[in-house]
Amino acid sequence: MSTEPATPEATEGKKKGGINLLIILPLVIFLGLATLFLLQMAKGGDPSQIPSVLINKPAPDFDLPALEGFEANGAPMPGFKTSDLMGQVTLVNIWGSWCPACRDEHPMLLEMNKDNRYRLVGIAYKDEPQNAARFLNNHGNAFDAVGLDLSGRTGIDWGVYGAPETFIVDRKGVIRYKHIGPLTPTNLRDSFMPILEKILAEKG
């Protein structure tokens, strides 16, 4: 099973006027992470072990809308924003209906969401709402909330350069771990779950 994150086709736009550093900074971070990823792959390394510059830093500000028309347990599925990360350990899964590896990973997420010690939320990355809703209806809903990142801007702020990726965020809203590529029984056992258990055991 491949652990390379998939990416949809990107589109480029032109902006008139001068360059705003606050706007291009996320892009610079993104390009730096992409370079690390390519170097790691060229060396034959495991891309899931590439460190994120956001580790041990607060999650970026975002406010993503819900998937319009999608319901879970008879109620509309809520969207997802920064304040939702506070007060509980949260797993943030970056996924897309266009992503084959996300389909392979999904049964793992369905099983993980049975554990009520943490919250599992999804960011539908560069996805059309009707396609994302169809994916969840067909494969099962693994999430407590889903935010739609249609443009991919929130993904850039999180340092995402593909899907799937999964972040562990602690009770203070600080990003503590990032896994690149699909979760599997092996990497859950060997790396992801030991770190998650450690963060769950922390007080306050």
pLDDT tens-digit map of 176-201: 999 999 999 999 999 999 999 999 99
11 lies in a domain?
no
Supply the pLDDT for residue 60: 96
Looking at residue 31, its pLDDT comes to 67
**Residue 138: which domain range?**
21-201
Q: Kindly report the CATH number assigned to the domain that includes residue 191.
A: 3.40.30.10
Answer whether residue 5 is part of any domain: no
Q: Where do runs of H (alpha helix) occur along 83-128?
A: 100-112
Segment among 4-13, 62-71, 128-137 with least mean pLDDT: 4-13
Asked whether residue 10 is assigned to any structural domain, the reply reads no
Sheet with 165-169: list strands edge to edge.
57-58, 174-180, 165-169, 90-95, 119-125, 145-149
Counted domains in the chain: 1
Q: Where residue 157 falls among pLDDT bands split at 50, 70, 90?
A: very high
